[in-house]
Amino acid sequence: MTKNKGISNNILDLIGNTPLIRLNKITNNLSGNFYAKYEGFNPGHSMKDRIALHIIEEGERQGILKKGSTIIETTSGNTGFSIALVSIIKGYKCMLAVSSKASEGKINMLKAMGAKVYVCPAHVSADDPRSYYQVAKRLHEETANSVYINQYFNQLNADAHYNSTGPEIWEQTNGEITHLIAASGTGGTISGVAKYLKEQNPAIKVLGVDAYGSILKKFHETGEFDKDEIYPYRIEGLGKNLIPTATNFDVIDVFEKVSDEDAAHRARELAITEGLFTGYTSGAIIQAAMQYGEKGYFDENSKVVLILPDHGSRYMEKIYSDDWMKEQGFFDSKTHAHQQVEFI
């Protein structure tokens, strides 16, 4: 398609090339320079646009996706929205198996983007036929011409970031980046970006972010699957209770775990200090930067890039809801934001 300077051919042309923004306040008590790669600037408001576009276009190149094909995924969040977005433009059907834990707002967003949504009970085991894993598998088997994205076990997930996010960060920092801080869920973002950056400069340190209640940090350190590490937590999209094959643990130097409460407060702080209205995991990444800083990872020459995965609008009923924060027991003397509305 022809490129016109002022006009995008369609919304997919706007995926990627997100800005790198200097943090001017929130990291001031740390040594070094900190830059946010703000993925909320993607048209679907998260970095998952990149993997949806890459995996779907790869399916087209390989001839797996054809006219009228159906794309299936287990997701309630960013990946579902991004797959639905790409499907609209490319003319595919989109079926998403989501957990009943997903908020009504999230399900409505997926429906608004034309996806067929299957709400599956949250508290059944992964091998129960009603679980969202099994429902997605069944839909895939029963639907002719269908493709199951399976982001946790799909190498193309990391390849999307190797091809786009990694090179963008290298260019935006003129190759001067010294540290990358990124969350790990499927591991696609951190693995793809880290591989690209380390190929350019092996001295770059890759600092992962995990959640208390997740297995990833312990597995990285010991190679063992320690079930005792796993318990419920609130941050969505970060950490895991299984080992995704999309994660390349060899390119990650170290993991730091953050708590639900610290991450929630940091996201709110990021909004009111830097004007960056981001999601829950972005708060986790800022918190991890503080913890890495306190442990002496940075000096005044450090150039640290933090990948902030998504926009804050998806979290209005969670970290940006004062009622939710109170229900979690998260409001304390650290924040007074709940005092800023007056009803007349």
Q: Which residues are catalytic?
A: 48
- Which is nearer to ligand PMP, 32 or 185 (by Cβ)? 185
Cβ atoms of 94 and 70 closer than 8 Å? yes
Residue from 16, 80, 208, 279 binding ligand PMP (CB under 6 A)? 279
Interaction of residue 80 with ligand PMP, rule CB under 6 A: no
Tell me how far apart the alpha carbons of residues 178 and 173 are, in angstroms, rounded to a whole number: 10
Among 40, 44, 188, 208, binds ligand PMP (CB under 6 A): 188
- On whether the CB atoms of residues 71 and 309 are closer than 8 A, the answer is no
Check residue 184 for interaction with ligand PMP (CB under 6 A). Answer: yes
Candidates 26-34, 162-170, 188-196, 263-271; binding stretch for ligand PMP (CB under 6 A): 188-196
290-309 positions binding ligand PMP, by CB under 6 A: 309
> Which residue stretch of 56-64, 169-177, 179-187, 318-326 sits at the interface with ligand PMP (rule: CB under 6 A)?
179-187
Point out the residue whose Cβ comes nearest to ligand PMP: 237
Binding residue for ligand PMP (CB under 6 A) from 185, 208, 213, 312? 185
The neighbour count for residue 213, using CB atoms within 10 Å, is: 18
Q: Can residue 178 be called a binding residue for ligand PMP (CB under 6 A)? A: no
Binding status of residue 44 toward ligand PMP by CB under 6 A: no
The smaller minimum CB distance to ligand PMP, of residues 99 and 184, is found at 184
Cβ 77 to ligand PMP shortest distance, Å = 5
Beta bridge partners of 75: none
Measured from the CB of residue 33, what is the shortest distance to ligand PMP in angstroms? 23
Which of 42, 146, 164, 281 forms a contact with ligand PMP (CB under 6 A)?
Answer: 281
Per residue, what are the HEC states of 194-211? HHHHHHHCCCCEEEEEEE
Determine the interface stretch with ligand PMP among 29-37, 183-191, 219-227, 298-306 (rule: CB under 6 A): 183-191
Helix, strand, coil fractions of the chain, as percent rounded to 5: 40, 15, 40
Q: Return contacts of 37-40, CB within 8 angstroms, 24+ apart.
A: 37/165, 37/168, 37/169, 37/172, 37/305, 37/306, 37/307, 37/308, 38/276, 38/278, 38/308, 39/307, 39/308, 39/309, 39/310, 40/276, 40/277, 40/278, 40/279, 40/308, 40/310, 40/311, 40/312
Shortest Å distance, C-beta 45 to ligand PMP: 10
Q: Which of 76, 78, 82, 99 binds ligand PMP (CB under 6 A)?
A: 78
Nearest CA to 180 out of 255, 269, 266 is that of 255
Among 99, 189, 214, 287, the residue binding ligand PMP under the rule CB under 6 A is 189
- Find the shortest distance in angstroms from Cβ 94 to ligand PMP: 17
Helix axes 188-200, 155-163, angle to 10 degrees: 50
Angstrom distance (rounded) from CA 183 to CA 217: 11
Shortest gap between Cβ of 332 and ligand PMP (angstroms)?
Answer: 25
Q: What does the block give as tokens for 77?
A: 């969040």
Q: Which residues 225-264 are close enough to bind ligand PMP by CB under 6 A?
A: 237-238
Q: How many residues bind ligand PMP (CB under 6 A)?
A: 16
Among 70, 268, 310, 325, binds ligand PMP (CB under 6 A): 310
Query: Which parts of the chain are beta strand (E)?
Result: 20-22, 33-38, 70-74, 93-99, 116-120, 146-148, 179-183, 205-211, 254-258, 303-308
Q: Applying CB under 6 A, which residues contact ligand PMP?
A: 77-78, 183-190, 237-238, 279, 281, 309-310
